[in-house]
């Protein structure tokens, strides 16, 4: 049995809560996103929202809204050194992480670390999507992504981008977190 986080009860400046707004999506790691499309879109009726390649992380992302509003994000590796490639090698396809949208990721990190949770990979570089992760050993066996964003991620992709474009690798995320068709 793992140890419970040690709570520092002397921390007077601890934020009163983590500012969780909602659970945004469940990310499922797959080797080929077409496997997930067959289940979450074709069989379960998911509606394509957006997707594209994140060349920096070496992943392809495809997100669907299931009937009722729950969102599923398929993540697959584009190269062998991508973190999701290592995940798939060790564990096989399956739930990779849960994403919680928070009002301010820095406040959430302060609260969680103040309560003894292990928070890693804090990335505040982009004003469009700031994130941090709670490690599974500290998050009840679940990798939790905490994020704040200035972008609506619950609306379908614009600019005529299709699921077929994403699956074919014709869509890439820009530094502004926009999905656009690749040039050339």
Mean per-residue pLDDT, 88-109: 97
pLDDT at 176 over 90: no
Q: Which pairing describes strands 179-181 and 171-173: parallel, antiparallel, or unpaired?
A: antiparallel
Q: Could you read off the pLDDT of 122-150 as tens digits, one per residue?
A: 999 999 999 999 999 999 999 999 999 99
pLDDT at 103: 96
Express as a percent the part of the chain with pLDDT over 90: 77
pLDDT at 87: 96
Strands (E), the chain: 20-29, 47-54, 59-65, 71-77, 94-102, 119-123, 129-134, 144-149, 171-173, 179-181
Q: Could you read off the pLDDT of 41-66 as tens digits, one per residue?
A: 999 999 999 999 999 999 999 999 99
**What CATH code is assigned to 20-154?**
3.10.180.10
pLDDT at 102 over 90: yes
- Indicate the SS3 state at residue 134: strand
pLDDT at 1: 54
pLDDT confidence band for 9 (50 / 70 / 90): low
pLDDT at 70 over 80: yes
Burial label, 67 (beta-carbon count in 10 A; 0-12, 13-18, 19+): exposed
Nearest Cα neighbor of 102 from 62, 133, 58 is 133
Is the pTM higher than 0.85? The answer reads yes
């Amino acid at each position: 049995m793992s140890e419970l986080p040690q709570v520092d009860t002397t921390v007077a400046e601890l934020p009163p809560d983590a500012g969780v707004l909602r659970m945004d999506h469940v990310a499922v790691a797959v080797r080929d996103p077409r496997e997930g499309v067959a289940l979450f879109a074709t069989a379960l009726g998911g509606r394509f929202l957006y997707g594209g390649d994140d060349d920096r992380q070496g992943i392809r992302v495809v997100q669907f809204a299931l009937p009722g509003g729950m969102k599923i994000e398929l993540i697959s590796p584009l190269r062998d050194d991508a973190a999701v490639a290592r995940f798939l090698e060790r564990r096989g396809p399956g739930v990779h992480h849960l994403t919680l949208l928070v009002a301010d990721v820095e406040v959430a990190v302060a609260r969680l670390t103040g309560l003894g949770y292990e928070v890693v990979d804090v990335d505040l570089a982009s004003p469009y999507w700031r994130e941090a992760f709670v490690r599974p050993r500290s998050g009840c066996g679940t990798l939790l992504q905490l994020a704040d964003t200035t972008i609506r991620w619950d609306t379908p992709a614009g600019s005529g981008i299709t699921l077929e474009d994403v699956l074919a690798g014709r869509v890439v995320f820009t530094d502004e977190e926009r999905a656009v068709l690749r040039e050339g």
